[in-house]
Chains A and B, each alone.
Chain A
């Protein structure tokens, strides 16, 4: 049986918008191999780079935040980004688990 474990990210997005923040919704749309979070996992990012939720449990969040702030600046409505396995060097963005994920970014407007 499946339960709808729900992190209330969309509700939080709505709260942010009420306080006049610009919000980008980032959603895991595809995974390959072993990836930290399942399809449908979400995070939100505002124009200052504040974020809530998670798309990878910490591995690629910093890059997702940068991309989200970028699409707000460029006024781009949506963008798809992919992350692959990281190499050994510390702090480089990538998935240590060896998986790959695709994340869809969309502005809420």
Chain B
């Protein structure tokens, strides 16, 4: 057990009244999952000093508040030591999936006469489009790949468009052709929007959201604009719960690459919070196990997510990511999801066991056989197979038939996990597997595709740990020439990424370029490459 209270901390001077401490050495991580919302408190040495698991509520905020309250109760009188709260949440994902609480967006594309063959939002699911789109326009402007203008920017048309939609919209999304390399026109149109709609108009610009690939970046930008209200609510909810609890802590939000952004940043880029859960559990597993390279299996109540830790970060997926039926070009962790969780139901016969995909979810504590319930679950199979000793009902009395079914189900699960681990480790069998999440006991001690299976302390709340220890980051994409000018173009791209990381809360002295990839572009006469840079660093000191 980690020592959590040093004498220095115990005698820390406090402000009168609200218990605020001069020593702000604790951080709280909260991660909202499909079944449970987890919270942890960690100290300056990164030791976990308290944790909790609460059921996720339909509104998400309720579970978040319950987890925060429960974990604070474990450090009575010391909440003044909490300096930061990191939240990984599914508010934005749920809003899109349920078409709930989304804003009406005026969609501006800068690129005519190019791009008109595929107008904005053309391939969106009809109901989502009806909910989100107020109006759209494709105005003249944008750039070729080499920066040559497609057409002079048509400021007047933008002005007329904003005049027409004023009063009937909640937000504006602006996407220009090749704006990740040449962002000025998006900024100019954002300026016009502010003039026509008021300086508090909510505007999302695509060069701040995504990389090359016009339709996908535009989709992500429109979703981001539509989420403005969700963003305000969730940031507001977090701020108000901190206030209610008298916590004078700085809030941060986890994003899809396993790094953090400041609250003001999250309020502007809510779409980046989508997919933060898997990223957090992979980063948390890295921290708890002390490894930089591993396969991570996060076993929850309903599903198992396998990801890969490469040099301390989640390996990213190479394929387009769909959110609520909309194609985007987000960089998400490369995740293989299996319908295998602690609450997964088992039926069928020993010869042909049927596993899931239905799950009893967090009700496993009452519905599973080992807890006196009536439903055979994978938790029961794990207990019968000697992998854990959960439950209140002894398994000795179970019939041979039932034991045979549970045994067959477990063998089936093992085969699927073997296959999944082999896929994720690219068949190299050169790295260990870290089992995390509430259902981590389902993973056997030996998995053929990995060197060993590790179960670090506090692995049940690895995702919340991942939120606490995350770095702040910034990214930048650009197209750069191969010959002269290459060096200065790379330097400029790195500097932009570093500036963005600092804006996201990173300590200026400690920001580093953590990732740089170059993709040569084929079929071009002037050789060019597309460069992607990511900078990250620890959060600045309080």
* Same assembly: no
Chain A contacts to B: CB under 8 angstroms = none
Chain B contacts to A: CB under 8 angstroms = none
